Amino acid sequence: MSIVMTGGGTGGHLVIIKALKEHLSDEELIYIGSTIGQDKAWFEKDEDFKQRYFLDTRGVVNQKFFGKIFSLWLLLKATIRSFLILKKQKARVVFCVGGFSAAPTSIAALLSGTPLVIHEQNALSGTLNRRLKRYARYFISSYDSDSLVHSYPIKEEFFTSASVRKKIKKIIFLGGSQGAKAINDLALKLAPWLQEQGIAIVHQAGEKNIKTVQKRYTKLGIKAEVFGFTKEPAKYMSESDLAIARSGASTLWELSANGLPAIFIPFPYAAGDHQYYNAKFLTQKELAWVIRERDLKIKTIKDIILKANIEQKSKGLLEIIKKDGAQEIAKIIKSV
Angstrom distance (rounded) from CA 12 to CA 234:
16
- pLDDT at position 60: 63
Specify the pLDDT at position 63.
65
pTM of the model: 0.85
**Domain spanning 2-153+323-335: which superfamily?**
Glycogen Phosphorylase B; (3.40.50.2000)
> For residues 34, 37, 39 and 41, what is the CA-based torsion angle, rounded to 10 degrees?
130
Residue ranges per structural domain of the chain: 2-153+323-335, 157-320
Closest by CA position to 206, among listed 184, 224, 234: 184
Which pLDDT score is estimated for 62? 63
**Identical topology for domains 2-153+323-335 and 157-320:** yes
**C-beta of residue 231 within 8 angstroms of C-beta of residue 249:** no
Q: Minimal CA–CA distance to 199: which of 167, 151, 244?
A: 167
pLDDT of residue 224: 96
Distance CA 188, CA 186 (A): 6
Strand positions, DSSP E, the chain:
2-6, 29-34, 51-55, 91-96, 116-120, 138-141, 170-174, 200-204, 225-227, 242-245, 262-264, 289-290
| DSSP string for 232-285 | -HHHHHHT-SEEEE---HHHHHHHHHHT--EEE---TTSGGGHHHHHHHHHHTT
| CA–CA distances in Å: residue 291 to residues 97, 206, 298 | 28, 21, 11
pLDDT mean by block of 10 residues, the chain; 336 residues: 89 87 94 90 92 85 71 88 97 93 94 96 88 95 90 90 97 86 96 98 94 96 93 94 95 96 95 92 97 96 96 96 90 94
Please check whether residue 173 is in contact with residue 204, taking contact to mean a CB–CB distance below 8 angstroms: yes
The fold of the 157-320 domain, in CATH, is Rossmann fold (3.40.50)
Cβ atoms 109, 83 nearer than 8 A = no
pLDDT on residue 93:
97
